[in-house]
């Protein structure tokens, strides 16, 4: 299986991340890794979530494709 973000999801993620980093107090350190991704295949499509090490997350799922 191959999981990818489309252009719309990348723009949505970048907008959220820019806003989030202004208020997030967590630092992932020198090697980064502050963002994680969850891809959950379902019978209708793939649920796509990005999350910060602080616990805040954004749902990037494009339900219009379902």
Model pTM greater than 0.75?
Answer: yes
- Contact 54/65 with Cβ under 8 angstroms? no
Segment 50-54 shows an average pLDDT of: 93
Burial class, 49, CB count within 10 angstroms (exposed 0-12 / middle 13-18 / buried 19+):
middle
Phi and psi angles of residue 10, each rounded to the nearest 5 degrees, phi first: -65, -45
Residue 10 has pLDDT above 80, yes or no: yes
Element (H, E) at 40: strand 35-41
**For 19-43, what is each residue's pLDDT tens digit?**
998 898 877 666 767 899 999 999 9
Which residue(s) pair with 57 in the sheet? 51
């Amino acid at each position: 299986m191959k999981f990818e973000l489309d252009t719309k999801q990348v723009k949505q993620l970048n907008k959220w991340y820019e806003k989030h980093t202004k208020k997030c107090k967590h630092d992932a350190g020198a090697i980064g890794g502050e963002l994680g991704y969850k891809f959950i295949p379902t019978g209708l499509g793939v649920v796509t979530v990005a999350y910060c090490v602080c616990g805040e997350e954004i749902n990037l799922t494009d339900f219009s494709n379902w």
